[in-house]
């Protein structure tokens, strides 16, 4: 069953990652996180996929971490197996080479909102609610809700959700910059797909490079992005070819700075 918890499909140049646990409003547990990580790996490696949609099956996008999955863990297991592993998976999403759009056709709460925040863009339907309700049950946002969300939306907006307990409807979330587009009920996937299609028409290498540079400016990643950009540039040079050819021939390379 694990392989069906999260699926990856393609539609032309678009990839579609879908959370498939509708009976639990797509609540995340360890098998779900593993399946999501595997789907993202597949999306990253998919030739010709230039934008990725993240969807939730059923009435909810994602209700967050499954309380039954973590509430019986020891403190050590909760820290390592739950929080740190969840961070790794969410970072994987945030650093996917392709632009990503979260399709919010249902509520995004707690870890579900953190998941949406890890995407580049968010399209939400009018009835959707968003927030970080974790403190109401005595825990805190643990998958970047106090970090990535603050960088992207500002500390005061996150305070209102994580400390003040406010849940924002989609129209309020749009005004605060939490979502990028607001659509009528039932229209999120169509809108997101059309938007992703326009993104996919742009220069793929330039788009990926722009995403990396924005990530550096935002503090999402620095060392890996800098080295990736520099290495990609070097890989196109004649100097690299000269160096590799000389290495294979066991000769001294003649670099031309070309």
Give 150-163 pLDDT, tens digit per residue: 999 999 999 999 99
Predicted structure pTM score: 0.91
Q: What is the pLDDT of residue 1?
A: 39
Buried b or exposed e, range 92-126, using 16+ CB within 10 angstroms: bbbbbbbbbbbbbbbbbbbbbbbbbbbbbbbbbbe
Query: Across residues 122-134, what is the average pLDDT?
Result: 97
Indicate the helix (H) or strand (E) that contains 89: helix 85-94
What is the Cα–Cα distance from 197 to 168, expressed in whole angstroms? Answer: 28
- Please indicate whether residue 61 or residue 224 has the higher confidence score (pLDDT): 61
pLDDT tier, 227 (very low <50, low <70, confident <90, very high otherwise): confident
Work out the mean pLDDT of the chain and round it to a whole number.
93
Greatest mean pLDDT among 69-73, 111-115, 224-228: 111-115
The answer to whether 66 touches 29, Cβ cutoff 8 Å, is yes
Res. 225: pLDDT tops 80: no
Q: What is the pLDDT of residue 186?
A: 97
Q: Which of helix, strand or coil describes residue 169?
A: strand
| Choice among 134, 191, 208, 220 that is catalytic | 134
What is the Cα–Cα distance from 189 to 103, expressed in whole angstroms? Answer: 6
> What pLDDT, in 10s, does the model give residues 174-185?
999 999 999 999
Phi, psi values for residue 14, rounded to 5° = -105, 140
- Please indicate whether residue 227 or residue 205 has the higher confidence score (pLDDT): 205
Orientation of helix 30-45 relative to helix 85-94, angle to 10°? 30
Q: How many CA atoms lie within 13 A of 6 on its CB side?
A: 28
Res. 236: pLDDT tops 90: no
Opening angle at CA 82, ends 77 and 87, nearest 5: 135
What is the Cα–Cα distance from 171 to 183, expressed in whole angstroms? Answer: 9
220 classed as catalytic: no
What is the Cα–Cα distance from 203 to 90, expressed in whole angstroms? Answer: 26
Query: Across residues 134-151, what is the average pLDDT?
Result: 93
The answer to whether 112 touches 93, Cβ cutoff 8 Å, is no
- Please indicate whether residue 73 or residue 143 has the higher confidence score (pLDDT): 143
The answer to whether 108 touches 115, Cβ cutoff 8 Å, is yes
- Please indicate whether residue 153 or residue 227 has the higher confidence score (pLDDT): 153
Q: What is the pLDDT of residue 161?
A: 98
């Amino acid at each position: 069953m694990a392989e069906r918890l999260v699926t990856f499909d393609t539609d032309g140049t678009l990839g579609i990652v879908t959370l498939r646990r509708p009976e639990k409003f797509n609540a995340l547990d360890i098998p779900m996180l593993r399946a999501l990580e595997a789907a993202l790996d597949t999306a990253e490696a998919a030739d010709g996929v230039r934008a990725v949609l993240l969807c939730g099956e059923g009435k909810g996008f994602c209700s967050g971490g499954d309380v039954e999955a973590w509430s019986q863990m020891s403190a050590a297991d909760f820290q390592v197996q739950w929080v740190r592993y969840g961070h790794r998976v969410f970072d994987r999403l945030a650093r996917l080479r392709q632009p990503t759009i979260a399709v919010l056709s249902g509520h995004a709460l707690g870890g579900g909102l953190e998941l949406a925040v890890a995407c580049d863009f968010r399209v939400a339907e009018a009835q959707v609610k968003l927030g970080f309700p974790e403190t109401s049950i005595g825990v805190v946002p643990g998958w970047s809700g106090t970090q990535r969300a603050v960088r992207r939306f500002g500390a005061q907006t996150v305070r209102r959700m994580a400390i003040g307990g406010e849940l924002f409807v989609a129209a309020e979330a749009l005004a605060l910059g939490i979502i990028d587009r607001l659509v009528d009920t039932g229209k999120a996937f169509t809108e997101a797909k059309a938007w992703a299609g326009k993104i996919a028409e742009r220069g793929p290498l330039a788009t990926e490079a722009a995403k990396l540079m924005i990530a550096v400016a935002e503090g999402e990643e620095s060392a890996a992005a800098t080295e990736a950009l520099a290495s990609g540039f070097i890989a196109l040079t004649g100097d690299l070819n000269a160096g590799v050819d000389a290495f294979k021939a066991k000769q001294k390379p003649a670099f031309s700075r070309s």
